[in-house]
Amino acid sequence: MDINLIVDSISVLAHGVFLTLSVTLLSLVVSFILSVPLSLLRASPNRALSRSVLAYTYVFRGTPLLVQLFLVYYGLSQLTVVRQSIFWPLLREPFWCALAAFSLNSTAYTTEVFRAGILAVPRGITEAAQALGLSRLMQIRLIIFPLAFRMVLPSYANEVIGMVKASSLASTVTLLEITGLARRMVSETFAPYEVFLAAGLLYLLLNFIVSAFFRTLEMHLAHSPTSNSRNIKAGPKSSKLWPLRQAIDKRAHTKPDDQPSIRSL
């Protein structure tokens, strides 16, 4: 074990951190945006809607990400329609293929995570929101989604960590992120221990940052005035109806076209 080589490897592999992070973060952003409406459909009482979203999540959660990545990267080029479409300049690039595959995969997992949260929102709260005349969109924005997101935060944190790890698969489509650079270094130096140890340290560091971030966020949300956490001492804020009361208050004090915002989200 050569300490100098480990230090050298870390400085080389650090160049891949940017690519790892950009693939991870971009696919997380895309999957978050897509999975919010999809999870609402998935949790809806309408069977046909729920089933069709389930078909998507079931297939994407039931097959390996590597197969999905290769389907996008190698498979789509077989279709003439794709080669002639305006997306072709993008889908020829490994970066955008990886991003597309990771986003679709992550959307499937995130949708199921959010669905669990939406179904866990107590029925009485949504009924109360209805009774107060909040529109469906307002109910979702102010009541259902903030509560659901808080409940599934630990599972969502796991999904984010999973995404950081999954980004290593981008190395199989020639992208030189951390794992890609590490594989190239190993074949050049044949010093697998030092190089992979360096890569492992970088991944552990990234995941440590992610989990610390979510722990802080969880703590922050637990102490925020809209929390539904049971750990807080009794008082008006400990009531499950507190977020609703706050939403109504906000609505009362704002002009009709001035939409209230969710502070802590």
Partner 1 sequence: MLSFALQFFNGLQITVVLALVSGALGSLLGLFVAMAKLSKRDVVALLGRAYTTIVRGLPELLIILVVYFGGTAAITALTGRYVEINAFAAGIAALMIVFGAYCAEIFRGAIMSVPQGQAEAARSLGLKPWQIWLFVILPQMMRVALPAYGNLWASLVKDTSLVSVIGLTDIMRVAFIGAGSMRAPLTFYLVASALYLSLTSMSLASFRALERRIEIPGH
Count of residues that bind partner 1 according to CB under 8 A: 40
Query: Tell me, what amino acid is at 78?
Result: Q
- For position 241 contacting partner 1 by CB under 8 A, the verdict is no
Closest CB to partner 1 among residues 145, 203:
203
CB of 119 to partner 1, least distance (A): 17
Residue whose structure tokens are 């297939």? 59
CB of 165 to partner 1, least distance (A): 4
Q: Which of residues 51-90 bind partner 1 (CB under 8 A)?
A: 59, 62-68, 70-71, 74-79
Residue 166 near partner 1 by CB under 8 A: yes
Asked if 216 contacts 58 with a C-beta cutoff of 8 angstroms, the reply is: no
Binding mask 96-135 for partner 1 (x = CB under 8 A): ----------------------------------------
Q: Is 190 in the site for partner 1 (CB under 8 A)?
A: yes
**Cα Rg of the chain, angstroms:** 22
The least CB distance from residue 211 to partner 1, in Å, is 9
Distance, CA of 191 to CA of 195 (rounded, Å)? 6
Residues at the interface with partner 1 (CB under 8 A): 59, 62-68, 70-71, 74-79, 161, 164-169, 171-172, 179, 182-183, 186, 190-193, 196, 199-200, 203-204, 207-208
